[in-house]
């Protein structure tokens, strides 16, 4: 049986107010665009060809909210990511200059900003105070992790008379957005919830590429280049680079493809062993004997089968990871010391540098479109949805779809095959017990 995927977008009511936008084109909510979704987007497509209808993003000729009476709010949640300020700026500029909304306010420090007991002030967002924020990394609204009661958030939305809430964040934020929407629905309120998916790990279900990912990869390649120089600078030199990727190895894989100097890339989707004929250490030894240097890229969530997990969770509810890089460095040093091979090991962790840089040109364009289409959706009365890009088309996707699970790298794909061909690493990963 073909996989059934519901992509219907929820609305608050029938849009009846002529748009304030001076020109089109305008899009009909009833018209769908059919997109072929492959295994690079969702695992369900691995065994069948999925043609899925989506509602195309864009302005409508009639809107649900009356612009001069509309009040918007915007919040950024979770970890930092290149492009956050770009999305904020795009939303504010579109809402003020083109829809002439009454106001847009920024909620400070993530979802904590809705809760009175934290004492965070709100921030009025105007074209004047966001005009240059895209030149800087981070978010002018600041952020936080951790769940907050959706009932308290909806209480705050009611107190502030918010009509549209834009939520920028990752998997946890999208789940929070869905819960907030459900609470709004129970109270029969007319408040639109629009998600803009943000994850530097690129691991949101149904989102093939999140904003900031390209910028992160570009910065990661600088660290890899440095590790390669260091590795070549001494006999039996080893350069190790730790990159982000709790459950998904997209940054590690993409950076490996971008810079062909990587000899081993270790990701969460592929368990591996250190010892034995098919273990990593023997493969590394063979590389050093033949080429005298090696570059290893490790995603932070790789090799958790080798770590003594604490079973604790962070403020966002994610499992606290074991430090695989600390284990790797110790095991590598011990292994080659026993072999009497004088290695030189250099370790680079650029994670916080990558998270906090400004977006590159490609991501800035992407962020601009996401912000604009988010405003179009909110003004038209759409809710319980995210805006994203699929095959160069901007579409609306229900929150219920993107929150089903995390997106992971498909290790049976041609993409991963290309990574393995680029590194030349052996198939020791495939022979481990999963």
Q: Which residues are catalytic?
A: 201
Whether the ω angle into residue 312 lies within 30 degrees of 0, i.e. cis, is: no
- Sign of the four-CA dihedral 212, 213, 216, 218: negative
Question: What is the rounded distance in angstroms from the CA atom of residue 314 to the CA atom of residue 319?
Answer: 6
Residues 402 and 111: their CA atoms lie apart, in Å, by 20
DSSP element (H, E) containing 330: helix 324-338
Cβ burial, residue 313 (10 Å; 0-12/13-18/19+): exposed
> How many angstroms separate the CA atoms of 394 and 373, rounded?
8
Q: Are 133 and 106 within 8 A, CB to CB?
A: no
What is the helix, strand, coil percentage profile of the chain, to 5?
40, 20, 40
Q: CA–CA distance from 79 to each of 37, 169, 285, 356 (Å)?
A: 29, 8, 37, 10
Instruction: Name the DSSP letter for residue 114.
Output: G
């Amino acid at each position: 049986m073909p996989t059934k995927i519901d992509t219907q977008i929820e609305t608050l009511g029938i849009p009846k107010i002529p748009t304030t936008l001076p020109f089109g084109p305008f899009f009909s909510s009833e018209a769908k665009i059919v997109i072929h979704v492959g295994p690079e987007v969702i695992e369900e497509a691995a065994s069948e060809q999925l043609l899925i209808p989506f509602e195309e993003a864009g302005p409508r000729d009639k809107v649900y909210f009356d612009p001069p009476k509309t009040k918007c709010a915007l919040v950024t949640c979770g970890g930092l990511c290149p492009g956050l300020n770009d999305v904020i700026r795009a939303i504010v500029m579109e809402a003020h200059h083109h829809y002439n909304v009454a106001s847009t306010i920024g909620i400070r420090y993530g979802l904590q900003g809705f809760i009175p007991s934290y004492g965070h002030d709100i921030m009025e967002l105007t074209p004047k105070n966001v005009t240059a924020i895209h030149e800087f990394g981070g978010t002018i609204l600041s952020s936080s992790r951790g769940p907050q009661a959706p009932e308290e958030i909806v209480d705050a939305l009611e107190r502030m008379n918010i009509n549209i809430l834009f939520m920028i964040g990752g998997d946890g934020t999208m789940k929070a957005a869905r819960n907030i929407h459900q609470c709004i629905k129970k109270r029969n309120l007319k408040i639109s919830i629009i998600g803009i998916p943000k994850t530097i790990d690129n691991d949101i279900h149904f989102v093939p590429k999140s904003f900031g990912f390209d910028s992160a990869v570009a910065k990661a390649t600088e660290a890899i280049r440095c590790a390669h120089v260091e590795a070549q600078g001494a006999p039996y030199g080893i350069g190790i680079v730790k990159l982000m990727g709790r459950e998904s190895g997209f940054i590690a894989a993409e950076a490996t493809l971008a810079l062909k100097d990587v000899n081993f890339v270790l990701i969460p989707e592929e368990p591996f062993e250190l010892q034995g004929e098919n273990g990593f250490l023997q493969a590394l030894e063979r590389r050093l004997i033949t080429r005298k240097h090696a570059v290893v890229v490790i995603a932070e969530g790789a090799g958790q089968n080798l770590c003594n997990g604490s079973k604790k969770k962070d403020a966002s509810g994610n499992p606290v990871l074991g430090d695989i890089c600390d284990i790797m460095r110790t095991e590598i040093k011990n292994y080659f010391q026993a072999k009497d091979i004088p290695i030189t090991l250099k370790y680079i962790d650029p994670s916080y540098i990558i998270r906090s840089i400004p977006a590159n040109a490609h991501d800035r364009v992407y962020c601009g479109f996401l912000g604009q289409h988010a405003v179009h959706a909110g003004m038209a009365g759409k809710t319980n949805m995210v805006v994203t890009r699929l095959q160069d088309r901007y579409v609306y996707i229900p929150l219920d779809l993107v929150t089903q699970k995390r997106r992971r790298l498909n290790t049976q794909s041609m993409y991963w095959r290309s990574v393995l061909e680029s590194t030349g690493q052996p198939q020791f990963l495939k022979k481990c017990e999963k």
